[in-house]
């Protein structure tokens, strides 16, 4: 009896210790114990970005790649897909079971070596062997690996589209800077013209109506300066947001040489068909659609394979009582027993029809998505090439065709004619407005040209300049 009591006391202490260990481990797992989760969460968001006084396009792209929030979100999606691959390839942990009980009608009086304890210990493979032999684990890995490849390409595609937005916005800032400088130049010239006309008005050379028309033109140029300042500020804020600035936006400067007209060598002999073939080979969203379709196809095979029951193998040891093999009036106690077992659900009522149907629908969705992505590539390349060709002609007409030069020459000659009295004030104002409109249009045209180049890069999926 004393031996039995000592054994029960020892087992009780071990059981209490096991309960404490399990509770502490569970608390640490959910984040009750230890600051690891909070510390990791604080380190995810990058520090605020400070822009240099002069921001080049290359620097803007570099800062975006390091700190752009949208790109970091895409990278987090890739990490999630990597976790899915690890989980899909994991081998199920074996399951250990144990049990303790008492035999109530087993009299141990007068028997120090006898015990009414019942012990059961079992070990199961949690269907791990069947999972590997049936090919379910391999199919899960195939599904998730294709999904991971698609996620990585989606991250590349996000970088492609976001970098185009940054380049286009950078061009908008450069355009706003040139527009502001030109507006300052015009308002300075109008200020001098207004002073000259005031002198002429006081001398009686012109009437009050002519002076009012010149004053109106000066006020219009002042309006243009204010609009240019507002547009420049908005463009700066938009660019700062895209590269990841979360604090106050300074009035940084940009390199306006990016708007200098030049023909990219890669586009010298390019054709729409050639660019389209390149896009089919390089567009990450189109390639990602192919991986998504392959993942959906593997998921159909996995859903069908899931109809094979999960067969669980187990081994169990049990012992009921110790000491005497029988007690008066109670019947025989069972001796130590080792048993092997197999268990599996019987697929009578349900054979995974719903999962198979959903997998087939997902495959159809991805197949249609791939077709849509193909059509989108064709549309993007065609639209980009048309925009590039049209913008190039407009800029060439401005520069090589002499439209800029003609507008300036017409303004200067008309001013000389007006000073000599051979041209009217209306002619002078018309020539000045045409000169201003032509220059503003030129800045817009050259901005559209480089935007079209970058749009074509985005459509093709590679740099072209």
DSSP for residue 350 = -
**Looking at residue 114, what is its pLDDT?**
76
Task: Locate 348 and state its tokens.
Answer: 């009578």
Residue 68 lies in a domain: yes
Residue 52 lies in a domain: no
**Looking at residue 23, what is its pLDDT?**
44
| Domain match, 180 and 233 both | yes
| Domain match, 184 and 120 both | no
372 vs 382: CA distance, rounded Å = 15
Residue 51 lies in a domain: no
**Looking at residue 13, what is its pLDDT?**
46
Phi, psi of 317 (to 5 degrees): -120, 135
**Looking at residue 11, what is its pLDDT?**
41
CA–CA distances in Å: residue 195 to residues 184, 223, 369, 391: 17, 19, 66, 39
| Cβ atoms of 343 and 312 closer than 8 Å | yes
**Looking at residue 465, what is its pLDDT?**
76
Residue 49 lies in a domain: no
179 vs 227: CA distance, rounded Å = 9
Task: Locate 339 and state its tokens.
Answer: 């048993």
What is the per-residue DSSP string for 281-329?
A: HH-HHHHHHHHHHHHHHHHHHHHHHTTS---EEEEEEEEEEES-SEETT
**Looking at residue 148, what is its pLDDT?**
96
CATH code: domain of residue 166: 1.20.1600.10
Range(s) of the domain holding residue 101: 95-126+311-344
289 vs 367: CA distance, rounded Å = 8
Closest C-alpha to 424, from 210, 215, 217: 210
| Domain match, 319 and 425 both | no
Looking up tokens 């109008």, which residue turns up? Answer: 190
Strands 54-55 and 253-254: parallel
| Domain match, 12 and 118 both | no
| Domain match, 338 and 199 both | no
Residue 134 lies in a domain: no
Series of mean pLDDT values for 10-residue runs along the chain (465 residues): 44 43 42 43 60 92 88 92 94 93 76 79 92 93 96 94 95 96 93 90 88 93 95 95 87 94 90 95 95 96 93 90 55 74 91 94 96 96 95 93 92 90 89 93 96 95 86
Quote the radius of gyration of the chain (alpha carbons, Å): 40
| Domain match, 188 and 262 both | yes
435 vs 316: CA distance, rounded Å = 96
Which 3 state secondary structure label does DSSP give 343?
strand
Residue 420 lies in a domain: yes
What is the per-residue DSSP string for 213-236?
A: HHHHHHHHHHHHHHHHHHHHHHHH
| Domain match, 176 and 150 both | yes
Residue 162 lies in a domain: yes
457 vs 270: CA distance, rounded Å = 12
146 vs 85: CA distance, rounded Å = 9
What is the per-residue DSSP string for 146-172?
A: HHHHHHHHHHHHHHHHHHHHHHHHHHH
| Domain match, 327 and 453 both | no
Total domains in the fold of the chain: 3
What is the per-residue DSSP string for 130-146?
A: HHHHTTHHHHHHHHHHH
**Looking at residue 335, what is its pLDDT?**
73
């Amino acid at each position: 009896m004393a031996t039995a009591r000592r054994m029960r006391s020892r087992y009780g202490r071990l059981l209490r210790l096991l309960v404490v260990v399990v509770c502490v481990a569970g608390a640490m797992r959910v984040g009750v114990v230890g600051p690891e989760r909070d510390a990791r969460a604080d380190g995810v968001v990058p520090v605020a970005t400070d822009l240099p006084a002069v921001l080049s396009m290359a620097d803007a792209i570099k800062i975006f790649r390091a700190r752009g929030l949208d790109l970091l979100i895409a990278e987090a999606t890739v990490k999630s897909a990597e976790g899915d691959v690890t989980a899909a390839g994991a081998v199920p942990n074996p399951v250990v079971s144990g049990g303790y009980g008492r035999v109530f009608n087993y009299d141990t009086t007068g028997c120090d070596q006898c015990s009414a304890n019942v012990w059961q210990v079992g070990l199961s493979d949690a269907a791990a062997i069947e999972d590997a032999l049936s090919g379910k684990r391999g199919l899960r890995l195939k599904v998730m690996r294709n999904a991971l490849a698609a996620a990585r390409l989606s991250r590349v595609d996000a970088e492609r589209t976001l970098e185009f937005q940054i380049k286009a916005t950078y061009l908008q800032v450069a355009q706003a800077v040139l527009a502001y400088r030109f507006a300052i130049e015009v308002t300075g010239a109008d200020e001098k013209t207004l002073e000259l006309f005031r002198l002429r008005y006081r001398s009686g050379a012109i009437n009050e109506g002519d002076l009012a028309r010149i004053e109106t033109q000066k006020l219009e140029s002042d309006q243009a300066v204010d609009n240019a300042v507002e547009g420049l500020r908005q463009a700066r804020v938009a660019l700062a947001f895209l590269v990841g600035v979360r604090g106050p936006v300074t009035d940084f400067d940009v390199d306006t040489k990016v708007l200098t007209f030049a023909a990219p060598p890669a586009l010298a002999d390019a054709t729409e068909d050639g660019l389209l073939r390149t896009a089919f080979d390089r567009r990450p969203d189109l390639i990602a659609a192919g991986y998504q379709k392959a993942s959906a196809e593997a998921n159909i095979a996995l859903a069908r394979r899931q109809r094979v029951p999960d067969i669980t193998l187990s081994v169990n040891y049990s012992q009921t009582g110790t000491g005497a093999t029988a007690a008066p009036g109670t019947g025989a106690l069972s001796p130590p027993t080792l048993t092997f077992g197999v268990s599996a659900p019987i697929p009578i009522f349900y054979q995974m029809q719903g999962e198979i149907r959903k997998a087939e629908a997902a495959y159809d969705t991805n197949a249609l998505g791939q077709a849509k992505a193909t059509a989108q590539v064709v549309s993007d390349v065609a639209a980009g090439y048309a925009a590039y060709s049209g913008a190039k002609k407009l800029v060439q007409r401005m520069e090589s065709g002499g439209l800029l030069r003609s507008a300036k020459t017409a303004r200067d000659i008309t001013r000389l004619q007006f000073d000599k009295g051979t041209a009217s004030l209306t002619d002078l104002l018309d020539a000045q407005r045409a000169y201003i409109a032509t220059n503003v249009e030129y800045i817009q045209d050259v901005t559209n040209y480089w935007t079209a180049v970058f749009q074509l890069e985005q459509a093709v999926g590679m740099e072209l300049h």
